[in-house]
Amino acid sequence: MSELILVVNAGSSSLKFHMYAVVEDDRLAFQYGGQVSGIGGAMPAFKVDDEHGRPMERQSLEAGQARDLHSAQAMVADWLLARLDREPIAVGHRIVHGGPRYDRSVALTPEVLDYLDSLSPLAPLHQQNNLAPVRVIFERWPEIFQVACLDTAFHQGQAPQVRHFALPERFYRQGVRRYGFHGLSYHYISEHLRSHWPELARGRVLVAHLGSGASACALKEGRSVETTMGFTALDGLPMGTRPGRLDAGVVLWMMEQGMDHDAIQSLLYTESGLKGLSGISADMRVLQDSDDPRARLAVEYFCYRAAESLAGLCVSLQGLDTLVFTAGIGEHSAPVRARIAQHLAWLGVEVDEARNQAGEAVISTDASPVRVMVIPTNEERIIAEQSLALVRSAPVQ
């Protein structure tokens, strides 16, 4: 009977889970995955698909059934308990912020949980939600081995000039530094290239993780050498509701106008980005379908700033061999990919229109000096792999 690894990815309005079986030679076989979406909204939903993408469960929920993350967790737990004949050997969690302490995944203990909880102000939209399922499992199944898989860990080896801000050194010693995020996604892309295109993996690679949260990363020999996000997940590229790079003087001005910490935090995390610029929506699909000039401005702003940041990352690589698009917008929006490529044409980025529209794995022209690719990310598989590695190396109790 196969051992099982459960992966949990808890966000602000959704709870995702994947189940993997450990098969021969400790390979992982995806079994099924699901999510509760629309948590706290008027029309939450619960769905589960098997390894072939076929529906196993489809439920439209009453608002009270997923009124908050806790009730969504209870629903997922009940669904799993009704189907499992054995406990998973490990539960892996995506945790956004690992701070300066961790450069790899770590087994969760009460002490580790307390440390990760202390980092919540650096990721107010994510950290508490990421940690909520950990607490529930500790309470209900304290013997299960749990793992924190950290989005910041992949970037920990970057050079000092990349990690520092131009602030007095005492702030760096207190943890004020550039961490970078989306590391699990970048780790997956790095491993995927190494497995399928090893000659590309050895070269100079830019990865654009474009979704409701967006960032970009420069990979050299498969390792992160520079990324656009910094101390928090506010920095870098514009996002669905976050502004990306912003003159710090704007925040000082807001304070002078009488805005307090909570008002500024809410503005920067939930009211800005595509949503704030367009005044219409944070959803790129809605904006692309709109004729409103504000929507067109938001889309063009997103593409221009993404291209500007990608070009800047080339300094760390001293050139560019491969550009990879991933995550929701990167994987599914051909117009966004085309527009960003147009801004980068001077770098040798040439996209084939037909390949781009079809969403092929390679969308560059045959003559393009830069290979342009679309690779679906899979953070959950990286979490499962890291969780299995840690449970295998854990001391026998």
Q: What is the CA radius of gyration of the chain?
A: 21
Helical spans, DSSP H, in 318-360: 327-332, 334-343, 353-358
Query: Residue 92 forms beta bridges with which residues?
Result: 7, 147
Do the beta carbons of residue 244 and residue 304 sit within 8 Å?
Answer: no
Element (H, E) at 300: helix 293-317
- Through-space distance between the first and last CA atoms of the chain, rounded to whole angstroms: 22
Count of C-beta atoms within a 10 Å radius of residue 109? 12
Residue type for position 193: L
Contact 310, 206 (CB under 8 A): yes
Write down the catalytic residue from 25, 103, 151, 260: 151
In 3D, which of 295, 232, 317 has the Cα closest to residue 269?
A: 232
Q: Residue 135 is encoded by which pair of tokens?
A: 């607490």
Q: What share of the chain is helix, strand, coil (3-state, %, to 5)?
A: 45, 20, 35
- On whether the CB atoms of residues 278 and 307 are closer than 8 A, the answer is no
d(CA 247, CA 251): 8
Based on the residue annotation, tell me whether 366 is a catalytic residue of this protein. Answer: no
Residue written as token pair 């595509």: 274
Please state whether beta strands 371-374 and 322-326 pair in parallel, antiparallel, or not at all (unpaired).
parallel
The residue type of 121 is P
Which helix H or strand E contains 36, and what residues bound it?
strand 27-37
Task: Check if the beta carbon of residue 36 is closer than 8 Å to that of residue 75.
Answer: yes
Measured between alpha carbons, how far is residue 341 from residues 91, 208, 283, 311, 349 in Å? Answer: 39, 12, 21, 11, 6
Check the CA dihedral 262-153-381-85 and report its sign: negative
Distance CA 86, CA 137 (A): 15
Q: Please list the active-site residues.
A: 151
